[in-house]
Chain A
C-alpha cells in the first residue's frame, strides 16, 4: 500500500462561534475573519509538516484547491507544490486536484502542471476535480455545464501533454487556435492522473474506462460508502474487461492515532467535529447547485446519508464509528485499514493528519506514531520501490 499524506491547510484561527452567524464557512464568510499574520504562520507550519513526511517514509505528500473559504487556504495549490518541490528530494507530490471546469483556459493548468513536473524531475501526480458546489457560486461558472467543461478541459489537457504542438482545439466551451505547450511534461507520456471523488456513478464509469484507468480516491465518506464506491469501480472495470490494480483504489480520510482508542478520541474529537460541522458547513444550495450532479443524483442525495452538509451536528462518535475518520490506537487504525484493503483491494491511503482545529503538536505526535507503528506493517518494500 502507498501512503499519501494529505493536507487541506485550514484556517485554524477561525472564530468558530462568530463564523456560525453566517450562512456558511464558504463563499459568504467575510474575509475580515482572516488575519494575515496568523495565516502566514499557518502556511509556514503546514509546509514544514508536509516536508517532514519525506523523513517519516511517506510515498507522497498532497495538497488541493479550494476557493473563498476557511476550510482550505489553497486557491492556488501549485504555489504550495512548488515550495514543497524545493524542500524535498525524492517524495512524490500530488496536487489533488485542480478544478478543471472553473478556469476559462485549461491550458494554463496543463502548463503549470508541466512546469511542476519539470521542476520536480517527474515527482508530480496530477488530480483532476470539478471543484465543490460552493465554488460554482464563488467563481460564477454555471454548474449546469460542470460535467461538459470537465470532460472538455480534461481532453484538452491530455492532448496538450501528449500531442505535438501546435494544434487547434475545437470545443463547446474552450476554443483555441494554437495549443503548443512549453514546457512539455517531464514524465512520459504524461504525469499520473488521479481522480478524487465523492463517488458518483458518472465519475466511476468515466475514470475506470480502459483508455484512462485513473486511480480513484474516495474522499470524506463513511467506511461502507467508501467500500461500495471502490467496489463499484472494480465492477465497472471488470465490465470493461480488465482487472484493476491495487494502485487504482484510494481512500482519503482524517486519521489520528494515540496510545489508546480513548486517548485518540479525547484528543481528536473536537477537531474532527470542527472539520465536518464548521469548516464544511454549507447549505445544500451551495453543496450541490443544480447540474453539479445529475437530477437523479440530487434526488437520491435528499434520501442519502452524506456526512457533508448534513443538517444536524455530527458527533465525533458518529464519524469514528462510521469510519468517516480513522481515530484510535495504532492497532485499531491498522485493523480498519487492513479490513478496508481486504474488502476493496485498497492500494492507496490518503490520511489527513491535520484536520479542523487540530494543533501542530497533536498532529505531529499522531503522524510520528502512525509512521512508526501503522505504516510499516502495510507499506510493502515493493510499493516503496514503486514510489
Chain B
C-alpha cells in the first residue's frame, strides 16, 4: 500500500505526514531513528484504520523550532497537532522515543484518544537496570544492538546510503540527543503520573531488547492502570520489524477489543 505524503503546519513547524488506509484514526509516533522507510507493519495497521505517521519536529523531512527543547515540548506539540488534524476517538501507537512522547501526551490530556499501544517505549527507568547506551555505541554496534536476529542488522548494514540519507541520519541523531541524552532516555516526572492514563493500554517488548531491557516493560505494565504486557522471545528493540506478524496480530486484536 502506498502512503499519501503531505505537509501540515502546526504553529511554526511544517510536519511531513504519511497517511494510509481509511477508518478510525490511528496516530503512530516513530522512534529516534526516524522514519527511514514505510514499514510493512504500517500496511498491517492501515487495514481498517486511517493511519497517520508524522515525522517528528527535527527529524527526517519535518521542520524544527528552537523552542522545542525537551520531551514536554514534544508532547504539547503533538497535542496541538492532534487538535489541528481533528484527531478524536483515535488510537495512539508509539515506538521507543515515540512511545515516550505518547505517554507524555496522555498524562497531560487523554481526551482525544481511546487507547495506547507502546512498542519498547523510552520514558521511564528501572533503577538498577541500566539501559543500553546508544550514544556511545559505534555505527555498526548501534544497528546490531537493535536486533536479536542479526539477519535484520546485516540487511541494514548492507545498504549503500546516499550522502543525503547519511545527513538525514545525522539530523535524527542530533534531534534524539536533544531529547534523550540527559537524563538518558527518561523523564524523572513521568512515572509518577502514569496512573493518569486511564485507557486500555498494550505494552509490547522484545525479550532481548539491548537498549531497554525487558524489566522496563514490567514497570510500564505495573504503572499503567489498564494495561497488558506482551514480551516476545528472540526479539530486540524493534518488535514491529523483527516480529512483525505477531506484533501486527496482537496490536490489531487489541485495537478491535477497544472498539
Instruction: Note whether A and B form a binding pair.
Output: yes
A143 touches B177 (CB 8 A): yes
- Total contacts A to B, CB within 8 angstroms? 48
Kindly supply a per-residue 1/0 record for chain B positions 176-196, scoring 1 wherever the CB is within 8 Å of any chain A CB and 0 otherwise: 111001111000000000000
Residues of chain B contacted by A57 (CB below 8 angstroms): none
Which chain A residue shows the least CB distance to B177? A290
| Closest beta carbon of chain A to B211's beta carbon, Å | 15
Residues of chain A contacted by B138 (CB below 8 angstroms): 283-285
Instruction: Tell me if B41 counts as interface (CB < 8 A to partner A).
Output: no
| Closest beta carbon of chain A to B147's beta carbon, Å | 19
Q: How far is the CA of A144 from the CA of B58 in the complex (A)?
A: 13
**Stretch from B13-21, B122-130, B166-174, B202-210 contacting the other chain:** B166-174
B177 touches A286 (CB 8 A): no
Instruction: Tell me if B159 counts as interface (CB < 8 A to partner A).
Output: no
Instruction: Tell me if A304 counts as interface (CB < 8 A to partner B).
Output: no
Residues of chain B contacted by A298 (CB below 8 angstroms): 170
| Closest beta carbon of chain A to B61's beta carbon, Å | 15
Kindly supply a per-residue 1/0 record for chain B positions 109-141, scoring 1 wherever the CB is within 8 Å of any chain A CB and 0 otherwise: 000000000000000000000000001111000
Range for the number of chain A residues in contact with chain B: 20 to 34
A142 touches B181 (CB 8 A): yes
A286 touches B136 (CB 8 A): yes
Residues of chain B contacted by A141 (CB below 8 angstroms): 182
User: Given the known A-B contacts A283-B138, A285-B136, A289-B135, are A299 and B170 also in contact in the complex, defined by CB atoms under 8 Å?
Assistant: yes
Range for the number of chain B residues in contact with chain A: 10 to 19
Which chain B residue shows the least CB distance to A302? B166
Residues of chain A contacted by B137 (CB below 8 angstroms): 285
Residues of chain A contacted by B171 (CB below 8 angstroms): 295
Residues of chain B contacted by A209 (CB below 8 angstroms): none
Q: Which of B143-176 contact A (CB under 8 A)?
A: 167, 170-171, 173-174, 176
Q: How far is the CA of A298 from the CA of B173 in the complex (A)?
A: 12
Choice from A27, A28, A283, A289 contacting B177 with Cβ under 8 Å: A289
Which chain A residue shows the least CB distance to B181? A142
Which chain A residue shows the least CB distance to B167? A299
Residues of chain B contacted by A331 (CB below 8 angstroms): none
Residues of chain A contacted by B182 (CB below 8 angstroms): 140-142
| Closest beta carbon of chain A to B186's beta carbon, Å | 13
Q: Could you list 28 examples of A-B contacts with CB < 8 Å? A: A23-B136, A27-B136, A28-B136, A137-B135, A140-B181, A140-B182, A140-B183, A140-B184, A142-B177, A142-B178, A143-B177, A143-B181, A144-B181, A283-B138, A284-B138, A285-B135, A285-B137, A286-B136, A289-B135, A289-B177, A289-B181, A290-B170, A290-B176, A291-B174, A291-B178, A295-B174, A299-B167, A299-B170
Tell me the A residues contacting B by CB distance below 8 Å.
23, 27-28, 136-137, 140-145, 283-286, 289-291, 295, 298-299
Taking A298-B170, A299-B167 as given, write out 9 further A-B residue pairs in contact, using a Cβ cutoff of 8 Å, ordered by the A residue number.
Answer: A23-B136, A28-B136, A137-B135, A142-B177, A283-B138, A285-B138, A289-B177, A295-B170, A299-B170
